[in-house]
Structure 1
Amino acid sequence: MRPYILAENNWKDLKNADFELAVLPWGATEAHNYHLPYSTDVIEADHIAAESARLAWDEGAKVIVLPTIPFGVNTGQPDIYLDINLNPSTQYAILKDVITVLNRQGIHKLVIFNSHGGNNFKPLVRELGLEFPDMFLCVTDWFKSLDKKLFFDEDGDHADELETSLILHLKPELVLPLDEAGPGDERKSKIKALTEDWAWAERPWSQVTDDTGIGNPKKASAEKGQKYFKAVTKKFARFFIELSQANKDNLYE
Protein backbone atom coordinates (compact mmCIF):
# COMPACT_ATOMS: atom_id res chain seq x y z
CA MET A 1 0.00 0.00 0.00
CA ARG A 2 1.40 3.34 -1.10
CA PRO A 3 0.12 6.17 1.12
CA TYR A 4 0.22 8.68 -1.74
CA ILE A 5 -2.06 6.58 -4.03
CA LEU A 6 -5.75 7.08 -3.21
CA ALA A 7 -6.92 3.85 -4.86
CA GLU A 8 -4.69 1.74 -2.58
CA ASN A 9 -5.74 3.31 0.71
CA ASN A 10 -8.68 2.75 3.03
CA TRP A 11 -10.90 4.78 5.32
CA LYS A 12 -8.92 3.76 8.41
CA ASP A 13 -5.81 5.36 6.92
CA LEU A 14 -7.47 8.40 5.40
CA LYS A 15 -10.09 9.50 7.93
CA ASN A 16 -7.57 11.76 9.65
CA ALA A 17 -5.33 12.48 6.65
CA ASP A 18 -4.37 16.01 5.61
CA PHE A 19 -3.13 16.42 2.04
CA GLU A 20 -1.91 19.66 0.52
CA LEU A 21 -1.91 18.63 -3.15
CA ALA A 22 -4.05 16.35 -5.30
CA VAL A 23 -2.85 15.01 -8.64
CA LEU A 24 -5.40 13.87 -11.24
CA PRO A 25 -3.82 11.79 -14.03
CA TRP A 26 -5.81 11.94 -17.25
CA GLY A 27 -5.13 9.65 -20.17
CA ALA A 28 -6.96 8.24 -23.20
CA THR A 29 -7.97 4.92 -24.69
CA GLU A 30 -6.90 4.79 -28.33
CA ALA A 31 -4.90 2.87 -30.91
CA HIS A 32 -1.13 3.34 -30.73
CA ASN A 33 0.27 2.00 -33.99
CA TYR A 34 0.20 -1.80 -34.33
CA HIS A 35 2.57 -2.60 -31.48
CA LEU A 36 1.43 -0.62 -28.41
CA PRO A 37 -1.72 -1.17 -26.31
CA TYR A 38 -4.77 1.07 -26.34
CA SER A 39 -3.97 1.84 -22.70
CA THR A 40 -0.59 3.42 -23.48
CA ASP A 41 -1.55 6.90 -22.26
CA VAL A 42 -3.11 5.46 -19.10
CA ILE A 43 -0.05 3.31 -18.30
CA GLU A 44 2.22 6.33 -18.72
CA ALA A 45 -0.02 8.52 -16.56
CA ASP A 46 -0.29 5.88 -13.82
CA HIS A 47 3.41 5.18 -13.54
CA ILE A 48 4.87 8.65 -14.04
CA ALA A 49 2.42 10.30 -11.63
CA ALA A 50 2.90 7.57 -9.01
CA GLU A 51 6.69 7.59 -9.11
CA SER A 52 6.80 11.38 -9.06
CA ALA A 53 4.52 11.35 -6.03
CA ARG A 54 6.66 8.71 -4.32
CA LEU A 55 9.77 10.83 -4.70
CA ALA A 56 7.93 13.89 -3.44
CA TRP A 57 6.35 11.98 -0.54
CA ASP A 58 9.77 10.78 0.55
CA GLU A 59 10.79 14.44 0.79
CA GLY A 60 7.81 15.29 2.99
CA ALA A 61 5.30 16.49 0.39
CA LYS A 62 1.66 15.87 1.35
CA VAL A 63 0.51 14.69 -2.07
CA ILE A 64 -2.26 12.29 -3.08
CA VAL A 65 -2.66 10.81 -6.57
CA LEU A 66 -6.27 10.29 -7.63
CA PRO A 67 -7.33 7.41 -9.93
CA THR A 68 -6.50 8.01 -13.58
CA ILE A 69 -9.30 9.05 -15.92
CA PRO A 70 -8.90 6.51 -18.77
CA PHE A 71 -10.74 8.35 -21.57
CA GLY A 72 -9.76 11.55 -23.36
CA VAL A 73 -10.74 13.77 -26.28
CA ASN A 74 -10.59 11.69 -29.47
CA THR A 75 -12.92 13.73 -31.67
CA GLY A 76 -10.57 13.39 -34.64
CA GLN A 77 -10.70 9.58 -34.58
CA PRO A 78 -14.37 8.59 -34.89
CA ASP A 79 -13.65 5.88 -37.47
CA ILE A 80 -10.82 4.15 -35.57
CA TYR A 81 -12.27 1.11 -33.86
CA LEU A 82 -12.85 1.52 -30.11
CA ASP A 83 -11.02 4.81 -29.75
CA ILE A 84 -13.15 6.10 -26.88
CA ASN A 85 -14.02 9.79 -27.01
CA LEU A 86 -14.91 12.16 -24.17
CA ASN A 87 -16.15 15.51 -25.43
CA PRO A 88 -14.55 18.58 -23.82
CA SER A 89 -17.93 19.37 -22.24
CA THR A 90 -17.88 15.94 -20.60
CA GLN A 91 -14.37 16.55 -19.33
CA TYR A 92 -15.57 19.85 -17.89
CA ALA A 93 -18.37 18.10 -15.99
CA ILE A 94 -16.03 15.43 -14.60
CA LEU A 95 -13.40 17.96 -13.63
CA LYS A 96 -15.95 20.22 -11.97
CA ASP A 97 -17.25 17.35 -9.84
CA VAL A 98 -13.74 16.36 -8.76
CA ILE A 99 -12.84 19.96 -7.90
CA THR A 100 -16.08 20.34 -5.95
CA VAL A 101 -15.11 17.45 -3.69
CA LEU A 102 -11.54 18.65 -3.17
CA ASN A 103 -12.64 22.21 -2.45
CA ARG A 104 -15.29 21.08 0.03
CA GLN A 105 -12.79 18.89 1.86
CA GLY A 106 -10.01 21.44 2.08
CA ILE A 107 -7.57 20.26 -0.59
CA HIS A 108 -7.12 23.49 -2.51
CA LYS A 109 -4.33 22.58 -4.94
CA LEU A 110 -4.93 20.35 -7.95
CA VAL A 111 -2.54 19.31 -10.70
CA ILE A 112 -4.18 17.87 -13.81
CA PHE A 113 -1.54 15.39 -14.96
CA ASN A 114 -2.27 15.16 -18.68
CA SER A 115 -1.04 12.17 -20.67
CA HIS A 116 -2.82 12.70 -24.00
CA GLY A 117 -2.13 15.29 -26.68
CA GLY A 118 -5.80 15.61 -27.62
CA ASN A 119 -6.78 16.83 -24.14
CA ASN A 120 -6.87 20.59 -23.77
CA PHE A 121 -7.66 21.60 -20.21
CA LYS A 122 -6.68 25.27 -20.30
CA PRO A 123 -10.11 26.64 -21.30
CA LEU A 124 -11.76 24.41 -18.70
CA VAL A 125 -9.40 25.58 -15.96
CA ARG A 126 -9.98 29.22 -16.88
CA GLU A 127 -13.73 28.78 -16.43
CA LEU A 128 -13.51 26.61 -13.32
CA GLY A 129 -11.02 28.98 -11.74
CA LEU A 130 -13.70 31.68 -11.64
CA GLU A 131 -16.17 29.29 -10.08
CA PHE A 132 -13.72 28.00 -7.46
CA PRO A 133 -11.59 31.01 -6.43
CA ASP A 134 -10.10 29.17 -3.45
CA MET A 135 -8.60 26.47 -5.70
CA PHE A 136 -5.18 26.52 -7.33
CA LEU A 137 -5.65 24.65 -10.62
CA CYS A 138 -2.71 23.65 -12.76
CA VAL A 139 -2.35 21.71 -16.03
CA THR A 140 0.79 19.76 -16.92
CA ASP A 141 1.81 17.75 -19.99
CA TRP A 142 4.54 15.32 -18.93
CA PHE A 143 5.50 14.70 -22.57
CA LYS A 144 6.45 18.38 -22.97
CA SER A 145 8.47 18.67 -19.77
CA LEU A 146 11.84 17.56 -21.16
CA ASP A 147 13.75 18.01 -24.41
CA LYS A 148 13.08 14.69 -26.19
CA LYS A 149 16.19 15.15 -28.33
CA LEU A 150 18.32 14.50 -25.26
CA PHE A 151 16.88 10.98 -24.99
CA PHE A 152 15.61 9.87 -28.40
CA ASP A 153 16.74 9.87 -32.02
CA GLU A 154 13.39 10.03 -33.83
CA ASP A 155 10.80 12.77 -33.56
CA GLY A 156 7.08 12.05 -33.26
CA ASP A 157 4.07 12.52 -31.02
CA HIS A 158 2.11 9.28 -30.96
CA ALA A 159 3.37 5.70 -30.49
CA ASP A 160 6.78 7.07 -31.40
CA GLU A 161 10.22 6.23 -30.07
CA LEU A 162 9.49 7.98 -26.77
CA GLU A 163 6.21 6.22 -26.02
CA THR A 164 7.46 2.88 -27.25
CA SER A 165 10.55 3.13 -25.06
CA LEU A 166 8.46 4.02 -22.03
CA ILE A 167 6.10 1.07 -22.47
CA LEU A 168 9.04 -1.24 -23.13
CA HIS A 169 10.34 -0.12 -19.73
CA LEU A 170 7.02 -0.11 -17.85
CA LYS A 171 4.96 -2.91 -19.47
CA PRO A 172 7.15 -4.84 -21.93
CA GLU A 173 4.74 -7.76 -21.96
CA LEU A 174 2.19 -5.53 -23.76
CA VAL A 175 4.51 -4.53 -26.62
CA LEU A 176 4.62 -6.50 -29.86
CA PRO A 177 8.01 -7.03 -31.56
CA LEU A 178 9.08 -3.79 -33.20
CA ASP A 179 9.31 -5.43 -36.61
CA GLU A 180 5.50 -5.63 -36.43
CA ALA A 181 5.16 -1.87 -35.86
CA GLY A 182 4.22 0.47 -38.66
CA PRO A 183 6.67 3.22 -39.67
CA GLY A 184 4.56 5.99 -38.12
CA ASP A 185 4.73 8.16 -41.23
CA GLU A 186 2.75 11.41 -41.05
CA ARG A 187 1.06 13.19 -43.95
CA LYS A 188 1.42 16.96 -43.59
CA SER A 189 -1.33 19.42 -44.43
CA LYS A 190 -1.33 20.97 -47.90
CA ILE A 191 -2.26 24.27 -46.23
CA LYS A 192 1.02 25.92 -45.28
CA ALA A 193 -0.37 27.83 -42.31
CA LEU A 194 -1.60 24.59 -40.73
CA THR A 195 1.98 23.31 -40.61
CA GLU A 196 3.02 26.31 -38.49
CA ASP A 197 2.29 27.24 -34.88
CA TRP A 198 -0.16 30.07 -35.48
CA ALA A 199 -2.95 28.18 -37.26
CA TRP A 200 -4.68 25.02 -36.10
CA ALA A 201 -7.30 22.58 -37.33
CA GLU A 202 -8.02 19.15 -35.92
CA ARG A 203 -6.24 16.35 -37.77
CA PRO A 204 -8.57 13.64 -39.14
CA TRP A 205 -6.38 10.84 -37.84
CA SER A 206 -6.99 8.26 -40.56
CA GLN A 207 -6.08 10.85 -43.22
CA VAL A 208 -2.83 11.70 -41.47
CA THR A 209 -1.49 8.21 -40.70
CA ASP A 210 -1.97 4.69 -42.01
CA ASP A 211 -1.00 2.83 -38.81
CA THR A 212 -2.34 5.33 -36.22
CA GLY A 213 1.23 6.19 -35.17
CA ILE A 214 3.15 9.41 -35.77
CA GLY A 215 6.88 8.90 -35.38
CA ASN A 216 9.14 5.97 -36.15
CA PRO A 217 9.34 3.64 -33.12
CA LYS A 218 12.00 1.29 -34.47
CA LYS A 219 14.91 2.72 -32.41
CA ALA A 220 13.03 2.43 -29.13
CA SER A 221 14.46 0.48 -26.20
CA ALA A 222 13.65 -0.24 -22.58
CA GLU A 223 16.96 1.36 -21.61
CA LYS A 224 15.98 4.65 -23.24
CA GLY A 225 12.59 4.43 -21.57
CA GLN A 226 14.12 3.88 -18.15
CA LYS A 227 16.46 6.86 -18.55
CA TYR A 228 13.62 9.13 -19.61
CA PHE A 229 11.32 7.83 -16.85
CA LYS A 230 13.88 8.63 -14.17
CA ALA A 231 14.43 12.14 -15.53
CA VAL A 232 10.78 13.05 -15.98
CA THR A 233 9.69 11.74 -12.57
CA LYS A 234 12.52 13.57 -10.86
CA LYS A 235 11.42 16.81 -12.51
CA PHE A 236 7.78 16.34 -11.54
CA ALA A 237 8.69 15.35 -8.00
CA ARG A 238 10.46 18.66 -7.53
CA PHE A 239 7.38 20.45 -8.85
CA PHE A 240 5.08 18.51 -6.50
CA ILE A 241 7.31 19.34 -3.54
CA GLU A 242 7.39 23.05 -4.35
CA LEU A 243 3.67 23.25 -4.96
CA SER A 244 2.77 21.22 -1.89
CA GLN A 245 4.77 23.56 0.31
CA ALA A 246 3.80 26.80 -1.41
CA ASN A 247 1.31 29.36 -0.16
CA LYS A 248 -1.18 29.37 -3.02
CA ASP A 249 -2.15 32.96 -2.23
CA ASN A 250 1.43 34.21 -2.39
CA LEU A 251 3.06 32.66 -5.46
CA TYR A 252 4.59 35.71 -7.14
CA GLU A 253 7.56 37.94 -6.38
Structure 2
Amino acid sequence: MRPYILKEANWKTLKDHRFDLAVLPWGATEAHNYHMPYGTDVYEADAIGEEAGRKAWEKGANVVILPTIPFGVNTGQSDIYLDMNLNPSTQFAILKDLLEVFHRQGLKKLLILNSHGGNDFKTALRELGLKHQDMLLFTCNWFQALDKKEYFEEGGDHADELETSLIMHLHPELVLPLEEAGDGDEKKSVIAGVREKWAWAERKWSQVTADTGIGNPKKASPEKGRRYFEDVTEKVSDLILDICSVNHGELYR
Protein backbone atom coordinates (compact mmCIF):
# COMPACT_ATOMS: atom_id res chain seq x y z
CA MET A 1 0.00 0.00 0.00
CA ARG A 2 1.27 3.44 -0.97
CA PRO A 3 -0.13 5.87 1.61
CA TYR A 4 -0.29 8.76 -0.90
CA ILE A 5 -2.50 6.81 -3.37
CA LEU A 6 -6.13 7.12 -2.27
CA LYS A 7 -7.39 4.03 -4.10
CA GLU A 8 -4.83 1.92 -2.19
CA ALA A 9 -5.29 3.58 1.20
CA ASN A 10 -7.49 2.23 3.99
CA TRP A 11 -9.48 3.69 6.86
CA LYS A 12 -6.97 2.45 9.45
CA THR A 13 -4.34 4.69 7.84
CA LEU A 14 -6.54 7.67 6.98
CA LYS A 15 -8.68 7.81 10.12
CA ASP A 16 -6.21 10.10 11.87
CA HIS A 17 -4.24 11.49 8.91
CA ARG A 18 -4.97 14.75 7.11
CA PHE A 19 -3.35 15.67 3.78
CA ASP A 20 -2.30 19.15 2.69
CA LEU A 21 -3.02 18.69 -1.02
CA ALA A 22 -5.24 16.53 -3.22
CA VAL A 23 -4.11 15.86 -6.80
CA LEU A 24 -6.88 14.95 -9.24
CA PRO A 25 -5.60 13.39 -12.49
CA TRP A 26 -8.08 13.95 -15.32
CA GLY A 27 -7.85 12.12 -18.63
CA ALA A 28 -10.07 11.22 -21.58
CA THR A 29 -11.17 8.15 -23.50
CA GLU A 30 -10.71 8.55 -27.25
CA ALA A 31 -9.08 7.13 -30.37
CA HIS A 32 -5.31 7.67 -30.63
CA ASN A 33 -4.34 6.95 -34.23
CA TYR A 34 -4.44 3.30 -35.31
CA HIS A 35 -1.73 2.01 -33.00
CA MET A 36 -2.56 3.44 -29.56
CA PRO A 37 -5.21 2.50 -26.97
CA TYR A 38 -8.32 4.56 -26.31
CA GLY A 39 -7.17 4.86 -22.72
CA THR A 40 -3.88 6.59 -23.59
CA ASP A 41 -4.70 9.78 -21.66
CA VAL A 42 -5.86 7.74 -18.66
CA TYR A 43 -2.74 5.56 -18.59
CA GLU A 44 -0.59 8.68 -18.80
CA ALA A 45 -2.52 10.44 -16.03
CA ASP A 46 -2.33 7.35 -13.80
CA ALA A 47 1.38 6.86 -14.25
CA ILE A 48 2.45 10.50 -14.08
CA GLY A 49 0.22 11.20 -11.08
CA GLU A 50 1.43 8.17 -9.15
CA GLU A 51 5.13 8.61 -9.93
CA ALA A 52 5.09 12.36 -9.32
CA GLY A 53 3.21 11.65 -6.10
CA ARG A 54 5.86 9.14 -5.03
CA LYS A 55 8.69 11.56 -5.72
CA ALA A 56 6.91 14.40 -3.95
CA TRP A 57 6.02 12.20 -0.95
CA GLU A 58 9.64 11.14 -0.60
CA LYS A 59 10.62 14.82 -0.62
CA GLY A 60 8.26 15.46 2.27
CA ALA A 61 5.03 16.52 0.51
CA ASN A 62 1.87 15.56 2.41
CA VAL A 63 -0.10 14.80 -0.75
CA VAL A 64 -2.83 12.39 -1.80
CA ILE A 65 -3.30 11.28 -5.43
CA LEU A 66 -6.96 10.71 -6.24
CA PRO A 67 -8.24 8.16 -8.79
CA THR A 68 -8.09 9.40 -12.37
CA ILE A 69 -11.30 10.64 -13.97
CA PRO A 70 -11.29 8.75 -17.30
CA PHE A 71 -13.61 10.91 -19.44
CA GLY A 72 -12.91 14.38 -20.80
CA VAL A 73 -14.26 17.03 -23.15
CA ASN A 74 -14.44 15.55 -26.66
CA THR A 75 -17.10 17.80 -28.19
CA GLY A 76 -15.20 18.00 -31.49
CA GLN A 77 -15.12 14.22 -31.87
CA SER A 78 -18.82 13.38 -31.77
CA ASP A 79 -18.61 11.22 -34.90
CA ILE A 80 -15.52 9.24 -33.83
CA TYR A 81 -16.79 5.89 -32.56
CA LEU A 82 -16.79 5.62 -28.74
CA ASP A 83 -14.87 8.82 -28.16
CA MET A 84 -16.50 9.57 -24.82
CA ASN A 85 -17.56 13.14 -24.07
CA LEU A 86 -18.17 15.06 -20.86
CA ASN A 87 -19.48 18.54 -21.51
CA PRO A 88 -17.63 21.37 -19.74
CA SER A 89 -20.75 21.94 -17.62
CA THR A 90 -20.57 18.30 -16.49
CA GLN A 91 -16.92 18.72 -15.54
CA PHE A 92 -17.91 21.81 -13.57
CA ALA A 93 -20.56 19.85 -11.69
CA ILE A 94 -18.07 17.10 -10.83
CA LEU A 95 -15.52 19.64 -9.59
CA LYS A 96 -18.19 21.46 -7.59
CA ASP A 97 -19.19 18.26 -5.79
CA LEU A 98 -15.59 17.23 -5.09
CA LEU A 99 -14.68 20.67 -3.77
CA GLU A 100 -17.63 20.47 -1.39
CA VAL A 101 -16.12 17.25 -0.01
CA PHE A 102 -12.66 18.76 0.38
CA HIS A 103 -13.96 21.97 1.93
CA ARG A 104 -16.19 20.14 4.40
CA GLN A 105 -13.28 17.96 5.51
CA GLY A 106 -10.69 20.73 5.72
CA LEU A 107 -8.57 19.80 2.69
CA LYS A 108 -7.88 23.27 1.33
CA LYS A 109 -5.58 22.67 -1.67
CA LEU A 110 -6.38 21.01 -5.02
CA LEU A 111 -4.26 20.45 -8.11
CA ILE A 112 -5.90 19.11 -11.27
CA LEU A 113 -3.32 17.11 -13.23
CA ASN A 114 -4.71 17.42 -16.74
CA SER A 115 -3.85 14.75 -19.32
CA HIS A 116 -6.07 15.81 -22.24
CA GLY A 117 -5.86 18.84 -24.51
CA GLY A 118 -9.64 19.20 -24.77
CA ASN A 119 -9.98 19.77 -21.01
CA ASP A 120 -9.70 23.35 -19.79
CA PHE A 121 -10.36 23.92 -16.10
CA LYS A 122 -9.38 27.56 -15.71
CA THR A 123 -12.87 29.00 -16.12
CA ALA A 124 -14.35 26.48 -13.68
CA LEU A 125 -11.68 27.19 -11.08
CA ARG A 126 -12.26 30.94 -11.43
CA GLU A 127 -15.93 30.49 -10.57
CA LEU A 128 -15.47 27.87 -7.88
CA GLY A 129 -12.66 29.89 -6.34
CA LEU A 130 -15.12 32.70 -5.62
CA LYS A 131 -17.20 30.32 -3.54
CA HIS A 132 -14.24 28.71 -1.77
CA GLN A 133 -11.98 31.69 -1.19
CA ASP A 134 -10.15 29.92 1.63
CA MET A 135 -8.97 27.21 -0.79
CA LEU A 136 -6.04 27.16 -3.20
CA LEU A 137 -7.06 25.74 -6.59
CA PHE A 138 -4.53 24.88 -9.29
CA THR A 139 -4.52 23.16 -12.66
CA CYS A 140 -1.59 22.03 -14.80
CA ASN A 141 -1.03 20.35 -18.15
CA TRP A 142 1.84 17.91 -17.71
CA PHE A 143 2.35 17.81 -21.49
CA GLN A 144 3.32 21.50 -21.43
CA ALA A 145 5.76 21.22 -18.52
CA LEU A 146 8.85 20.54 -20.65
CA ASP A 147 10.19 21.61 -24.03
CA LYS A 148 9.19 18.69 -26.26
CA LYS A 149 11.90 19.58 -28.77
CA GLU A 150 14.52 18.47 -26.27
CA TYR A 151 13.09 14.95 -26.28
CA PHE A 152 11.35 14.32 -29.61
CA GLU A 153 12.05 14.95 -33.27
CA GLU A 154 8.48 15.29 -34.54
CA GLY A 155 5.84 17.75 -33.36
CA GLY A 156 2.15 17.11 -32.78
CA ASP A 157 -0.35 17.02 -29.97
CA HIS A 158 -2.27 13.73 -30.19
CA ALA A 159 -0.93 10.18 -30.56
CA ASP A 160 2.29 11.82 -31.70
CA GLU A 161 5.90 10.87 -31.04
CA LEU A 162 5.62 12.02 -27.41
CA GLU A 163 2.49 10.05 -26.51
CA THR A 164 3.57 7.00 -28.48
CA SER A 165 6.95 6.97 -26.76
CA LEU A 166 5.32 7.32 -23.34
CA ILE A 167 2.94 4.42 -23.85
CA MET A 168 5.73 2.31 -25.40
CA HIS A 169 7.56 2.86 -22.12
CA LEU A 170 4.60 2.45 -19.76
CA HIS A 171 2.49 -0.19 -21.55
CA PRO A 172 4.38 -1.62 -24.54
CA GLU A 173 1.89 -4.47 -24.80
CA LEU A 174 -0.81 -1.97 -25.82
CA VAL A 175 1.04 -0.38 -28.76
CA LEU A 176 0.79 -1.90 -32.23
CA PRO A 177 3.90 -1.99 -34.45
CA LEU A 178 4.65 1.51 -35.71
CA GLU A 179 4.31 0.42 -39.32
CA GLU A 180 0.59 0.06 -38.60
CA ALA A 181 0.30 3.66 -37.37
CA GLY A 182 -0.99 6.46 -39.55
CA ASP A 183 1.25 9.44 -40.29
CA GLY A 184 -0.80 11.80 -38.12
CA ASP A 185 -1.10 14.43 -40.87
CA GLU A 186 -3.13 17.48 -39.86
CA LYS A 187 -5.13 19.70 -42.17
CA LYS A 188 -4.82 23.38 -41.27
CA SER A 189 -7.66 25.86 -40.93
CA VAL A 190 -8.48 28.06 -43.91
CA ILE A 191 -8.89 30.94 -41.42
CA ALA A 192 -5.60 32.82 -41.10
CA GLY A 193 -6.18 33.93 -37.52
CA VAL A 194 -6.80 30.34 -36.43
CA ARG A 195 -3.65 29.13 -38.20
CA GLU A 196 -1.68 31.89 -36.49
CA LYS A 197 -3.18 30.82 -33.13
CA TRP A 198 -4.52 34.22 -32.05
CA ALA A 199 -8.04 33.15 -32.99
CA TRP A 200 -9.64 29.85 -32.06
CA ALA A 201 -12.35 27.49 -33.23
CA GLU A 202 -12.80 23.91 -32.14
CA ARG A 203 -11.26 21.37 -34.49
CA LYS A 204 -13.70 18.98 -36.16
CA TRP A 205 -11.56 15.92 -35.63
CA SER A 206 -12.73 13.78 -38.54
CA GLN A 207 -12.12 16.67 -40.96
CA VAL A 208 -8.67 17.52 -39.59
CA THR A 209 -7.09 14.06 -39.47
CA ALA A 210 -7.71 10.82 -41.33
CA ASP A 211 -6.27 8.51 -38.66
CA THR A 212 -7.29 10.48 -35.49
CA GLY A 213 -3.65 11.32 -34.81
CA ILE A 214 -1.97 14.71 -35.03
CA GLY A 215 1.79 14.36 -35.28
CA ASN A 216 3.95 11.66 -36.85
CA PRO A 217 4.62 8.85 -34.32
CA LYS A 218 7.06 6.86 -36.48
CA LYS A 219 10.22 7.96 -34.62
CA ALA A 220 8.87 7.06 -31.20
CA SER A 221 10.79 4.71 -28.91
CA PRO A 222 10.44 3.42 -25.34
CA GLU A 223 13.82 4.96 -24.51
CA LYS A 224 12.55 8.43 -25.44
CA GLY A 225 9.42 7.76 -23.41
CA ARG A 226 11.41 6.67 -20.34
CA ARG A 227 13.61 9.78 -20.41
CA TYR A 228 10.62 12.09 -20.81
CA PHE A 229 8.66 10.27 -18.10
CA GLU A 230 11.47 10.62 -15.57
CA ASP A 231 11.87 14.32 -16.24
CA VAL A 232 8.18 15.26 -16.42
CA THR A 233 7.36 13.41 -13.19
CA GLU A 234 10.25 15.20 -11.50
CA LYS A 235 8.85 18.54 -12.71
CA VAL A 236 5.33 17.72 -11.54
CA SER A 237 6.64 16.48 -8.20
CA ASP A 238 8.32 19.84 -7.66
CA LEU A 239 5.01 21.59 -8.38
CA ILE A 240 3.27 19.34 -5.84
CA LEU A 241 5.93 20.10 -3.25
CA ASP A 242 5.68 23.85 -3.90
CA ILE A 243 1.89 23.82 -3.47
CA CYS A 244 2.12 21.76 -0.30
CA SER A 245 4.65 24.19 1.13
CA VAL A 246 2.87 27.48 0.35
CA ASN A 247 0.53 29.18 2.79
CA HIS A 248 -2.72 30.90 1.88
CA GLY A 249 -2.04 34.63 1.61
CA GLU A 250 1.66 34.10 0.85
CA LEU A 251 1.45 33.24 -2.85
CA TYR A 252 3.22 36.34 -4.13
CA ARG A 253 6.39 38.24 -3.36
Q: Secondary structure at the match of 1:215?
A: coil
Q: Deviation of residue 132 (structure 1)?
A: 0.9
Residue type of the partner of 2:241?
I
Deviations 1:201-247 (A, max 9, x none): 00000000000000000000000000000000111111111111111
Deviation at 1:6, TM superposition (A): 0.2
Structure 1 runs of 4+ aligned residues shifted over 3 Å read none
The equivalent of 2:245 in structure 1 is: 245
Counterpart residue number, 1:149: 149
1:30 matches 2:25:
no
1:2-13 equivalence runs, <5 A: 2-13=2-13
Q: Over residues 1-38 of structure 1, what are the superposed CA-to-partner deviations in whole Å (9 max), with x where a residue is unaligned?
A: 11110001111111111100100000000000000000
The alpha carbon displacement at 1:197 in A equals 2.1
Q: Which residue in 2 is equivalent to 1:119?
A: 119
Asked whether 1:105 is paired with 2:100, we answer no
* Equivalence for 1:212: 212
Q: Shift of residue 248 of structure 1?
A: 2.2
1:30-58 deviation digits (Å, cap 9, x = unpaired): 00000000000000000001100100101
Amino acid in structure 2 at the alignment position of 1:182:
G
2:197 paired residue number: 197
Normalised by the length of structure 1, the TM-score is: 0.99
Amino acid at match of 2:143: F
Partner residue in 1 for 2:164: 164
Measured against aligned partners, the alpha-carbon deviations of 1:88-143 in whole angstroms (never above 9, x if no partner) come to: 00000000111110111111010010000000111101000001111100010000
Show the counterpart of 2:176. Answer: 176
Does structure 1 residue 95 correspond to structure 2 residue 95? yes
What is the CA–CA distance in structure 2 between the aligned matches of 1:44 and 1:103, rounded to whole Å?
A: 28
Per-residue CA deviation, residues 117-170 of structure 1 (Å, 9 max, x unaligned), is 000111101000001111100010000000000000000000000000000000
Letter in 1 for 2:95: L
For 1:47, give the aligned amino acid.
Answer: A
Structure 1 equivalent of residue 46 of structure 2:
46
For the residue of structure 2 that corresponds to 1:13, the secondary structure is helix
Distance 1:9 1:231 in 2: 27
Q: How many Å separate the matches in 2 of 1:50 and 1:109? A: 18
1:60-99 to 2 correspondences below 5 Å: 60-99=60-99
2-side partners of 1:196 and 1:76: how far apart?
20
CA deviations 1:183-215 (Å, max 9, x no partner) are 000000111111122100000000000000000
- Gap runs ≥5 in structure 2: none
SS at match of 1:212: coil
Provide the rounded CA distance (Å) in 2 between the counterparts of 1:169 and 1:102. 34
Moved more, 240-249 or 20-29: 240-249
Q: Read off the aligned partner of 1:90 and give its amino acid letter.
A: T
Aligned partner of residue 156 in structure 1, secondary structure? coil
AA in 1 matched with 2:164: T
In structure 2, how many angstroms separate the alpha carbons of the residues matched to 1:250 and 1:190? 46
Question: Counterparts of 1:238 and 1:113 in 2: how far apart (Å)?
Answer: 13
Q: Does the residue aligned with 1:158 lie in a helix, a strand or coil?
A: coil
Q: TM-score, normalised by structure 2?
A: 0.99
Distance in 1 (CA, whole Å) between partners of 2:243 and 2:126 is 19
